[in-house]
Structure 1
Amino acid sequence: MFDLRKHQYNYFYNLATVVEDLIPANICDHLTTRINGIIADGLVDHVCHSSLGTDAVSDLGGAYNHHIFKGEDIRTHLPELAAVYHAVLPLISIITCSDTVVSPYAVSDINIKAYPAGGGTLGLHYDTNGITVLLSLTENTEAPLRMQIPRSHPSKKEPWIEHKNIYAKKGALLVMQGRKTLHDSEPTIAEQKLSVIMNYYERHDTYRHEDFDNFVYYGIKPAELV
Structure 2
Amino acid sequence: MFPLPRLTETRRRDRHQNLLEAARVIFQAKGYAAASISEIAKTAQVSDGLIYRYFSDKRAMLAAVLEDFLEGLIAQAESAVDEAEGFRAKLEAIIRTNLQVYAQDPEMCALFIREQRDASDYRGSPIHGLMRRYTELLSAVVRDGIAAGDVRPDLDVRLLRDFLFGGMEHLAWNALASGAGIAFENIAAQLTEMLTSGIAYTAPEKR
TM-score by length of 1: 0.28
Larger radius of gyration between Structure 1 and Structure 2? 2
Name the structure where helix makes up a greater proportion of residues.
2
